[in-house]
Amino acid sequence: MTATTDGSGRPSGAGTAAAGEATGVRPAGGDAGDVARIAEDAMRRAADCLLGRQDAQGWWKGDLETNVTMDAEDLLLRQFLGIRDDGVTEAAARWIRGEQRDDGTWATFHGGPSELSTTVEAYVALRLAGDRPEDPHMARASAWIRHQGGIARTRVFTRIWLALFGWWRWDDLPELPPELIFLPPWFPLNIYDFGQWARQTIVPLTIVSAKRPVRPAPFPLDELHTDPARPRPPGALAPAVSWRGFFQRADKALHLYHKVAPRRLRRIAMNAAARWIIERQENDGCWGGIQPPAVYSLIALHLLGYDLDHPVMREGLASLDRFAVWREDGARMVEACQSPVWDTCLAVIALADAGLPADHPALVRAADWMLGEQISRPGDWAVRRPHLTPGGWAFEFHNDTYPDIDDTAEVVLALGRVRHPDPLRVDIAIARGLRWNLGMQSKNGAWGAFDADNDSPFPNRLPFCDFGEVIDPPSADVTAHVVEMLAYEGLSAHPRARRGVAWLLGQQEPSGAWFGRWGVNYLYGTGSVVPALIAAGVPAAHPAIRRAVDWLASVQNEDGGWGEDLRSYRERRCIGQGDSTASQTAWALLALLAAGERESRAAERGAVWLANAQRPDGSWDEPHFTGTGFPWDFSINYHLYRQVFPLTALGRYVHGEPPMARAGARKGG
Round to whole Å and give the CA distance between 330 and 166. 32
Catalytic-role residue among 41, 74, 404, 406: 406
Residues with Cβ < 8 Å from 438, sequence gap 6 or more?
486, 494, 496, 669
Q: How far is CA 223 from CA 63, 82, 147, in A?
A: 35, 25, 11
Reduce the DSSP state of residue 19 to 3 states and report it: coil
Round to whole Å and give the CA distance between 116 and 149. 9
Alpha helices per DSSP H over 284-380:
291-303, 311-321, 340-353, 361-372
Burial 386-405, CB ≥16 within 10 A → b, else e = eebebbbbbbbbbbbbbbbb
Decide if 650 contacts 42 (C-beta within 8 A): yes
Round to whole Å and give the CA distance between 472 and 456. 9
Round to whole Å and give the CA distance between 299 and 306. 9
For residue 23, which of 31, 32, 13 has the smallest C-alpha distance? 13
Q: What dihedral do alpha carbons 175, 177, 181, 183 form, nearest 10°?
A: -80
Catalytic status, residue 406: yes
Decide if 356 contacts 72 (C-beta within 8 A): no
Q: In sequence order, what E strands does 542-633 have?
A: 627-630
Amino acid sitting at position 125: A
HSE at residue 600, side-chain half, CA atoms within 13 A, is 20
Q: What is the DSSP letter of 468?
A: S
Reduce the DSSP state of residue 634 to 3 states and report it: strand
Active site positions, annotated = 406
